[in-house]
């Protein structure tokens, strides 16, 4: 599925149903959705509810995401607005496409299937084409192995200062976990490498997110990286660690194909400045079968000036309402979205219930 709908809901279970909508209950959760969306089915669980649905007009499957209580705090309100703005802005084949915004519902479906080496390579290629805040739960894949990246509530511009809780812990780069330097786009390269290793081995690479676990593989930071750390506490802590040599990756991953080992080694580098970039990764021999520089577009500049606004919850609500009202699903300027049958969600549902 390459298309999605976005909705903001304020109706309670016993409130009247809005004209043109119908009400369904899916796994004890009430969904008010436009009449054209039928056959709702839960496709996952988590902080945000998500269902798949059939769009009766297009006969395509979509996913509908319900944001619960987005206005319970300033942080939640700004996060909801950020996600909607980013979904409207991004135009990329491998990033989820926003189809519609309305006032109700979506969540990722978990599925397990045996991945061949070729499928893993193809999925990883698509992943690098559209990097952002990454974890497996933020990725949707259909039966044709087409991949899209989901969920922009915590996204930021590169090199902005962020908390250490932005990326799900098993996939966080060390500079994110320990806040020892400004972040760049290579935080997602680290996350992508963790996902690649997990796809190949079937095991989470760093289930223990302590620095010691990571350093067993990468070795302790050298003096040049320690000097780049902006936190004196981080410098002191790292300098007090017993020295460890970097492991030989081929010995750590003995059954892994050589090019896969090599790209992992280039991406799992402690220093983000020397870590492979997404562009360099796309040109790596591991992805040679799929690499086509002319078809790997860069995104247009994104206006994130709203990040500096100091607004009340009600003002964020007004901004989100304006985004909803100005969204035109028939806009011919939008990129074409190929049919993308749902195995995980591709839409956003905003719930305005503040209770």
Residue 5's closest CA among 96, 138, 70? 96
Catalytic residue among 105, 133, 151, 349: 133
> Does the annotation mark 133 as catalytic?
yes
- Give the C-alpha separation, 152 to 305, whole Å: 16
Count of C-beta atoms within a 10 Å radius of residue 66? 28
Instruction: Kindly give, in sequence order, each residue whose CB lies less than 8 Å from that of residue 278, ignoring residues fewer than 6 positions away.
Output: 128, 129, 131, 185, 188, 189, 192
Sign of CA dihedral 325, 330, 333, 339: positive
* CB crowding 316-349: b at 16 or more within 10 Å, else e: bbebbeebbeebeeeeeeeeebeebebbbbbbbb
Question: Is 279 known to sit in a ligand binding site?
Answer: no
* Rounded-to-integer distance, Cα 6 and Cα 346, Å: 9
Specify burial of residue 29 (Cβ count, 10 A radius: 0-12, 13-18, 19+). middle
How far, rounded to the nearest angstrom, does the alpha carbon of residue 20 sit from its chain's CA centroid? Answer: 32
Task: Locate 88 and state its tokens.
Answer: 């409207």
CB atoms inside a 10 Å sphere around CB 235:
17
Q: How far is CA 8 from the centre of its chain?
A: 21
Query: Which residue ranges make up the annotated binding site for ATP?
Result: 66
The set of catalytic residues is 133
Residues placed in the known binding site:
66
């Amino acid at each position: 599925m390459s298309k999605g709908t976005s909705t903001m809901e304020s109706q309670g279970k016993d409130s009247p149903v809005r004209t043109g909508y119908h009400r369904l209950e899916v796994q004890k959760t009430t969904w008010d959705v436009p009449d054209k969306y039928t056959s709702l089915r839960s496709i996952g669980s988590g902080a945000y509810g998500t269902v798949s649905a059939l769009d009766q007009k297009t006969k395509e499957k979509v996913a509908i995401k319900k944001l619960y209580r987005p206005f319970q705090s300033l942080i939640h309100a700004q996060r909801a607005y950020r996600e909607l703005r980013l979904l409207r802005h991004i135009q990329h084949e491998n990033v989820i496409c926003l189809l519609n915004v309305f006032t109700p519902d979506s969540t990722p479906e978990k599925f397990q299937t045996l991945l061949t080496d070729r499928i893993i390579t193809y999925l990883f290629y698509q992943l690098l084409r559209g990097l952002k805040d990454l974890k497996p739960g933020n990725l949707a894949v259909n039966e044709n192995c087409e991949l899209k990246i989901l969920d922009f509530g915590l996204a930021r511009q590169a090199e902005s200062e962020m908390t250490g809780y932005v990326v799900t812990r098993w996939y966080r780069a060390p500079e994110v976990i320990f806040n020892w330097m400004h972040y760049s786009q290579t935080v997602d390269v680290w996350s992508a490498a963790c996902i690649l290793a997990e796809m190949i081995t079937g095991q989470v690479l760093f289930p223990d997110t302590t620095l010691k676990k990571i350093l067993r593989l990468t070795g302790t930071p050298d003096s040049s990286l320690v000097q780049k750390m902006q936190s004196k506490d981080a410098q002191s802590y790292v300098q007090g660690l017993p020295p460890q040599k970097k492991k030989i990756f081929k010995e750590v991953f003995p059954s892994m194909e050589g090019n896969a080992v090599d790209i992992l080694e280039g991406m799992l580098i402690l220093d983000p400045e020397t870590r492979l970039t997404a562009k360099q990764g796309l040109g790596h021999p591991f992805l040679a079968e799929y690499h086509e520089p002319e078809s790997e577009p860069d995104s247009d500049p994104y206006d994130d000036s709203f990040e500096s606004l100091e607004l009340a919850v009600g003002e964020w609500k007004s901004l989100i309402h304006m985004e909803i009202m100005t969204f035109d699903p028939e806009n011919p300027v939008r990129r074409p979205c190929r049919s993308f049958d749902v195995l995980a969600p591709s839409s956003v549902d905003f719930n305005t219930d503040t209770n």
